[in-house]
């Protein structure tokens, strides 16, 4: 019998109406995540990765947003769920953490109060004293030294790395099945970044939760993820295991990203470097491939590249999926020779 994924996103489309027109933020995005697995969603700013992640918690449901497609979590229809159901899923079964821990923590409440409150929202019958014990255990688990002394302190009394640990403690207090982490280490220095990623991996090993990691940092992807979806212009342009992406990339955009990473020296972080040109405006997506103005391979197939949007399809002989009209072994081997 085929295994049912914990989360499946199918043909997700998200549009926002703005005074300048309709922003096509996410276009026909599909992926699945299993329990215990980490999926990286990687791309430049404005590629649609954060809007995709927010859709999983139905956070884009404002009056200007139009969301279509299907999101199934643990067998339940998320997009069709009512507000009460979504509120019960948020923070208990699916938790989300963001880049800036300060914006996630209320400066006027002690960290203990915030973690206890996050727990009791979903466990109303648990007494505050019992919830405090659970919060202390979690603070200990995420590496806050001497939590008994520090649980009654305020967010500003902690360093950036410690604050992100507190945010993770708050996110994990209800043992979610899925953690969505949107650039969780971008604001932190390299050493603290590695500690936070290790912490997330350790907790995942213990409780088997799935993680969706949104990042612009291929170094983080290489360290942390099992599978990766590369987004460009609101679409997934390549989907692969991490090994496949790094060893046999199949999309010209991935070639550019990886070429940039490979050119970095050992002391540098693997952040995406500038590829000549700019990402497309999501207000005015072209009729063909949105990577065309930046693609060094389009000349071989200009008529098709400029008029037909390439679909994400399996690329032989790899296990990857790529959205490029030139999905040929010749293209891959040509690029691999350049990268070698």
Looking only at residues 177 through 216 of this chain, which bind ligand SF4 when binding is defined by CB under 6 A?
none
Q: Name, in order, each residue with C-beta under 8 angstroms of 328's C-beta and a sequence gap of 6 or more.
A: none
Determine if 232 is a binding residue for ligand SF4 (CB under 6 A). no
Minimal distance, residue 322 CB to ligand SF4, in Å: 8
Determine if 324 is a binding residue for ligand SF4 (CB under 6 A). yes
Determine if 298 is a binding residue for ligand SF4 (CB under 6 A). yes
Nearer to ligand SF4 by Cβ, of 214 and 331: the residue is 331
Nearer to ligand SF4 by Cβ, of 147 and 310: the residue is 310
Nearer to ligand SF4 by Cβ, of 18 and 307: the residue is 307
Alpha helices in the chain (DSSP H): 49-56, 83-89, 101-104, 111-120, 128-141, 147-150, 160-172, 190-207, 218-224, 242-247, 252-262, 302-307, 329-339
Minimal distance, residue 301 CB to ligand SF4, in Å: 6
Nearer to ligand SF4 by Cβ, of 174 and 290: the residue is 290
Nearer to ligand SF4 by Cβ, of 141 and 251: the residue is 251
Nearest to 178 by CA among 99, 104, 83, 71: 71
Phi and psi torsions of 256, nearest 5°: -65, -45
| Cβ proximity of 197 and 224 under 8 Å | yes
**Gyration radius (Cα) of the chain, Å:** 21
Determine if 289 is a binding residue for ligand SF4 (CB under 6 A). yes
Minimal distance, residue 277 CB to ligand SF4, in Å: 12
Determine if 255 is a binding residue for ligand SF4 (CB under 6 A). no
| Cβ proximity of 137 and 151 under 8 Å | no
Task: Find the Cα–Cα–Cα–Cα dihedral 310, 311, 315, 320, rounded to 10°.
Answer: 120
User: Among 171-179, 190-198, 313-321, 324-332, which window interacts with ligand SF4 (CB under 6 A)?
Assistant: 324-332
Tokens 């640990």 -> residue = 165
| Binding positions for ligand SF4, rule: CB under 6 A | 252, 289, 291-292, 295, 297-298, 301, 305, 310, 324-326
């Amino acid at each position: 019998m085929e295994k049912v994924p914990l989360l499946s996103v199918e043909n997700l489309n998200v549009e926002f109406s703005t005074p300048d027109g309709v922003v096509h933020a996410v276009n026909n995005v599909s992926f699945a995540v299993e329990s215990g697995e980490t999926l990286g969603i990687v791309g430049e700013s404005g590629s649609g990765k954060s809007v995709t992640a927010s859709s999983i918690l139905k956070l884009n449901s404002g009056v200007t947003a139009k969301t279509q497609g299907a999101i199934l979590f643990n067998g339940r229809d998320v997009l069709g769920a009512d507000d009460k159901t979504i509120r019960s899923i948020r923070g208990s079964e699916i938790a989300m953490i963001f880049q800036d821990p300060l914006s996630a923590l209320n400066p006027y409440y002690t960290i203990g109060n915030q973690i206890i409150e996050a727990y009791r929202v979903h466990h109303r019958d648990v007494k505050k004293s019992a919830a405090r014990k659970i919060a202390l255990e979690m603070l200990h688990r995420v590496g806050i030294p001497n939590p008994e002394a520090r649980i009654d302190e305020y967010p500003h009394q902690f360093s950036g790395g410690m604050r992100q640990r507190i945010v993770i403690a708050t996110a994990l207090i209800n043992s979610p099945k899925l953690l969505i982490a949107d650039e969780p280490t971008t604001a932190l220095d390299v050493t603290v970044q590695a500690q936070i990623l290790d912490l997330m991996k350790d907790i995942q090993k213990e409780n088997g939760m799935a993680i969706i990691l949104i990042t612009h940092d291929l170094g983080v992807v290489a360290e942390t993820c099992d599978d990766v979806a590369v987004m460009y212009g609101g679409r997934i342009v390549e989907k692969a295991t991490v090994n496949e992406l790094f060893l046999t990339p199949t999309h010209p955009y991935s070639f550019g990203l990886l070429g940039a990473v490979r050119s970095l020296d050992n002391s540098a972080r693997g952040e995406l470097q500038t590829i000549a040109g700019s990402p497309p405006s999501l207000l005015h997506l072209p009729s063909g491939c949105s990577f065309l103005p930046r693609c060094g391979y389009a000349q071989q197939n200009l008529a098709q590249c400029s008029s037909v949007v390439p679909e994400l399809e399996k690329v032989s002989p790899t296990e990857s999926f790529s959205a490029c009209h030139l999905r040929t072994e010749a293209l891959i081997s040509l690029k691999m020779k350049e990268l070698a």
